[in-house]
Amino acid sequence: MLLIAMYYGDDGYNSMYTCFKAIARQLEAFKLVTINGTGYRVKLHINDDYKFTCSALGHTGASSAHPCIKCVVKTMENGRSRPWIKFNDCECQHRNCSVPDPIKLNFSFSKAPIFNIDEDNIHLPFLHVLMGVFQALFRDFNRYLTHVDANGFDQAEPIYDDDFNELYDEPVFNLEDIMYSEADELSDSADYQEYANDLAAAVPDSSEAFTRFIALFNHNLKRIGAKATKYWMTFSGNNVPKILEHLDKLFDGVIKSTKMQGFYKAFAALRDCLEGQ
């Protein structure tokens, strides 16, 4: 690994374009390196925070109409935003496979790229991958708790498809009534963290008053101080590590079956992956 430059500045497109454009052209011309008389081809790869990666590629970012740099999923439908739970696997097609001319339909790549990098060499940040796995696991566990509350432990669970939304008619997650981009911005601030910690400290520890697992689980989230955004029903990058760091508090009073124990172990595996980074 070779250090090319140190950059002090924000990861917005304009700042990065000014600082990196000249270096980017030099890197693109760097095709071969010779070591002990043997030539090796050089390929450029990029892997960083998602905002940095989007800026480097000329993508307008996570809040754009097409938020993913890999697929064609849309966050807007008939002029209205769509929550995360409305997405389905059919939409998550690779951009180059979805339409005959993907360049004409640029999927929110509306700016000139700073770095011209092969798409196979564009790597999503680990935290965002972990957040996706966490969200899917979290959703499945909430479905299971809702099923147990309604039917007990003995009745078999139904099979849900991706469009199943009934469980969210009574939202859990300790929801915040703010949009996703605002939640990310707020959760980075010291004032917000102090506010969240104060709220968590005000939540009583006792779980005896809860007769439903789903209510107890949400109560435990409040004790941790973690919040999901009301619209997207997802946790920000700061909230996911906070939840994983306090799994014992999250699952307090909730592990009453072998399957619940299995969910705990799955979350613990994600925590161990995060700590290993």
- Between residues 160 and 99, the one the model is more confident about: 99
Question: What percent of the chain is modeled with pLDDT above 90?
Answer: 14
Model confidence pLDDT, tens digit, residues 210-239? 778 888 888 888 888 887 765 556 777 778
Ramachandran region of residue 117, left (φ > 0), alpha (ψ -120 to 50) or beta? beta
**Continuous H helices in 205-277:** 213-224, 239-245, 247-250, 258-275
The pLDDT value recorded for residue 261 is 93
φ, ψ of residue 78 in degrees (nearest 5): 55, 40
Model confidence pLDDT, tens digit, residues 5-36? 677 778 889 988 988 888 888 888 888 889 89
Give the Cβ contact number of residue 52 at 10 Å: 17
Say yes or no to pLDDT of 247 above 90. yes
| Token pair of 145 as six digits | 């708790």
| Largest interatomic CA distance in the chain | 74
Say yes or no to pLDDT of 174 above 50. no
d(CA 66, CA 250) in angstroms, rounded, equals 33
Question: How many CA atoms are closer than 13 Å to the CA of 175, on its beta-carbon side?
Answer: 15
Asked whether 145 and 214 are in contact (CB, 8 A), the reply is yes
The C-alpha angle with vertex 131 and arms to 205 and 74, in degrees rounded to 5, equals: 125
Q: What's the whole-number mean pLDDT along residues 100-129? A: 80
Say yes or no to pLDDT of 67 above 70. yes
The pLDDT value recorded for residue 272 is 92
Q: What's the whole-number mean pLDDT along residues 32-61? A: 89
**208 falls in which pLDDT band (50, 70, 90)?**
low
Cα first-last separation, the chain: 18
d(CA 250, CA 233) in angstroms, rounded, equals 18
Model confidence pLDDT, tens digit, residues 117-137? 888 888 888 877 888 888 888
The pLDDT value recorded for residue 5 is 63
Please give the mean pLDDT across all residues of the chain: 75
Asked whether 135 and 234 are in contact (CB, 8 A), the reply is yes
The pLDDT value recorded for residue 154 is 82
**92 falls in which pLDDT band (50, 70, 90)?**
low
Give the Cβ contact number of residue 152 at 10 Å: 8
φ, ψ of residue 152 in degrees (nearest 5): 80, -175
Q: Which residue has the tokens 């917005």?
A: 12
The pLDDT value recorded for residue 65 is 79
| Token pair of 81 as six digits | 């935003």
DSSP tag of 251: T
The pLDDT value recorded for residue 167 is 43
φ, ψ of residue 81 in degrees (nearest 5): -75, 155
The pLDDT value recorded for residue 185 is 44
The pLDDT value recorded for residue 183 is 40
Say yes or no to pLDDT of 75 above 80. no
**4 falls in which pLDDT band (50, 70, 90)?**
low
Three-state DSSP at 170 gives: coil
**How would you label 192-218 residue by residue, b for 16+ Cβ within 10 Å and e otherwise?**
eeeebeeebeeeeeeeeebeebbbbbb
Q: What's the whole-number mean pLDDT along residues 24-52? A: 87
Measured over the CA atoms of residue 273, residue 221, residue 125 and residue 81, the dihedral's sign is positive
Three-state DSSP at 84 gives: helix
**187 falls in which pLDDT band (50, 70, 90)?**
very low
The pLDDT value recorded for residue 191 is 47
| Token pair of 5 as six digits | 């430059």
